[in-house]
Chains A and B, each alone.
Chain A
Amino acid sequence: MINPLLELKEVSYKNKNNFTLNKVSLRIQSGEKIALLGKSGAGKTTLISILNGTLKPNKGRIKLFNTEFDKLNLYQKSKISTIWQDLRLIEDLSAEQNVNCGLLAKQSFLFAFKNLLNISSFNKAHQYMQVCNLKKSIFSKNIRKISGGQKQRVAIARSLIQESNILLADEPFNNLDPKLTSNIKNLLLITKNKNKIKVPNTTLIALHRLDLLDGFNRIIGMKNGEIIFDLEKNKLKKNHLNKLY
């Protein structure tokens, strides 16, 4: 059996008094495109936060590249990138400075310093921003002065520039119009390299909209902090979705 890229074993997470995740087990193989479905409060964001190491589970084990998460070095951990539901961009910095922050794992301290002084190279950031349908006119604009949809794409460009192996995304199509949603979804799910940029070949995306399930090959349904189904896309039936909503 091939070792999974990312593995969760009996993971539980308790928030104050309630379990937001309860004995969740999951194996993610390289190349999988996973859609994570569930109502608000089902535990999707908690699961993503545990998968990227932001939250530490109360019980259970997490392995990345067959190594316990706590034993990974910074370089190994940087192989996971995340698009957060609430974007979590740095206000007061420009759009291109925010995208360059995605390079922190691969660059030196001097790069971080030059980025903040606005004297670093932004070529790579611009390449990724263009791929995310961002116009040149907003590259140097302060993040506070751009629209919600533009911020969303800045956050996507920041996570793509990390050139990670696994992309975790929490409702990344919020704030985007139908055309942009389609473009960005294709960008995240299709690894064919039209734009000479590297896109993670393993993706887990939390979604609310069922009309966006095309292109995924695995669907996971969550309810009350538990995985209630985990199946291939072509095996998904209406009754599965009825259990969720």
Chain B
Amino acid sequence: MNKLKLNSSSITFLPILVCIPIAYELLINFHIGGIELFKEFIISAFNPKINNEIIFTLVKRLNETIIIAFFSWLISIIFGVIFGILSSEIFYQILNLPIFLKRFLNLFLTFIRSIHEIIWGLILMQIYGISFSIGIIAICIPYVAINAKVFSEQIENINLKTIESIKQINGIKSSTLITLVWAPVIETFKNFGLYRLECAIRSTTVLGLFGVGGIGTSIFLSFQTLNFQELWTYLWGLAFLIIISKELLKKFNLSNTSKKFLTSFVIALFCISLFSLSFFVYFIFNKNAIPFNSINNLLISNFNFISYDFLKLLLETIVLCLLSTGIAISFPPIFILILNNKVGITIIRIISFLFRLIPPPVLILILLMFNDPSISLAATTLGLHNAAITSKLLLANLHNQDNKQYIAMKSLGVSKRSSWLFGIFVKQANSYLAYCAYRSDIIIRETAILGVIGSVGLGWQLQESLSSFAWEEVIVILFFYSSIAIIGELINGKIKSNLT
């Protein structure tokens, strides 16, 4: 008998098997109690509430969202670049500094990156209360570290010979460094940095659900009062904002800007970075942090973290990650394969846009209308939201790929679906899986949001501990959250390097 051999394409489809336990649990927990509400929710999508009052609120909330998202994006990009350079080897090579400083900085960045912005937000809100600044700082903390990682990876790709040739000119070290890192930084900003604004808008919305302000707060309040027409007005407003911001940023081209504008832009960036740094320092040290009594209290923990309940939550979080990742990987190629025609692809695009638009906490509340809280429900929510993101990338890559092999296969009489699978998808499978490995890093962090809402995993325990100001428990949970994220990142890093 032949041995089973797995290639990238089959590995892409295999995770669909996670649907068996998920479907089983969802069927057991299914009820029709909220079916009327769900109908109303769907109808409201086509009939949002429009009057002067709600338009005024929408504009006000969108303004708040733009302010939080824009500033957190800008600050996280500026400091992402700075920390990206500081955590790349070339910096230590050119300035002749000891490499252990890089390792130390990387460890620190890995830790702050491993904790989701929502968790940072919840912690900061408990300590400092609710304010706009909390939203900006909560998003900035992990975003700076994420951006730093991406910028540093691109800087590390600079050709060694180019480094040697510029070093050989023997200019002052700072000039040599900036000359070498400039091109990869600008390129990464164009390819990755601009896209991060969309992410910042989504994060601001999700933070809004927890009370920071902006459109998220209105979405959550509308949902709580079951005012779906109002909810859809806000959701369409958010969709409008995301589309407009994307279109505006597409037009932003550094190379075509005038010299005067470029100089003012650089001066503005410099001023913003100085201001944000000083504000951050002021915020941390001058605000009244009553519950944060002393460091000693935090370090002396009597929380029983090896208890059965805690281990169960830990295991739930890991299972939630695996199930969601399975959905996020396998759904897009399977649905594109099944609905492989123009109408089908348009339907996939619309549905995936909606799943990206509706924040996961709202999505899980919608699903809770006809299902009880469970790991499967949380996994379905997180999986669908992330599948919508992976499908966007997959569709874009498939669109840009040449279809010579597809035509050749079809000319041989092979069916349309098989031709697509072997003539087009096979070429994309490797890079798609590599992106999914990166995506699963994000899924691990996002389990926190679903945990808080869906009563599963460590997220739920974190919410409980934060509400009761049990800082010792918070520290222990953060430690485990961070450990899971770091281990996941290491495993995914290995997978990515094997695939690319």
Contact = CB atoms under 8 A, between A and B. Distances in A.
Nearest to A72: B170
Given A52-B168, A116-B182, A117-B266, A104 B176 contact: yes
Contacts of A2: none
A104 B169 contact: yes
Contact of A54 (B168, B172, B180, B183): B168
Contacts of A54: 164, 167-168
Given A92-B187, A112-B171, A84 B165 contact: yes
B186 interface: yes
B262 interface: yes
Given A104-B176, A104-B179, A116-B182, A78 B165 contact: no
Nearest to A119: B259
B263 interface: yes
B174 interface: yes
A117 B174 CA distance: 16
A52 B182 CA distance: 25
A109 B178 contact: yes
A78 B172 CA distance: 10
Contacts of A102: 169
A41 interface: no
A19 interface: no
Interface in B424-465: none
A23 B443 CA distance: 58
B418 interface: no
Nearest to B258: A119
Contacts of B182: 93, 116
B286 interface: no
Chain B binding surface, main DSSP class: helix
Contacts of B187: 92
A49 B262 CA distance: 38
B262 A117 contact: yes
B79 to A, nearest CB: 19
Interface of A is mostly: loop
Given A88-B161, A88-B165, A116 B170 contact: no
Contacts of B166: 90, 101, 104
Q: State which size class the interface on B falls in.
A: 20 to 34
A117 B263 CA distance: 8
A82 interface: yes
Most buried by A among B169, B171, B183: B169
Contact of A104 (B159, B171, B266): B171
B29 interface: no
Interface in B127-175: 159, 161-162, 164-172, 174-175
Give the residue among A77, A105, A115 with the most B Cβ atoms within 10 A: A105
A162 B266 CA distance: 28
12 contacts: A49-B164, A74-B170, A74-B171, A93-B183, A101-B179, A102-B169, A104-B170, A104-B172, A104-B176, A105-B172, A108-B175, A119-B259
Interface of B: 159, 161-162, 164-172, 174-176, 178-180, 182-183, 186-187, 259, 262-263, 266
Given A54-B168, A90-B180, A117-B263, 18 more contacts: A49-B164, A54-B164, A74-B172, A80-B168, A81-B169, A82-B165, A82-B168, A86-B161, A88-B162, A88-B164, A90-B166, A92-B183, A101-B166, A104-B169, A104-B170, A108-B175, A117-B259, A119-B263
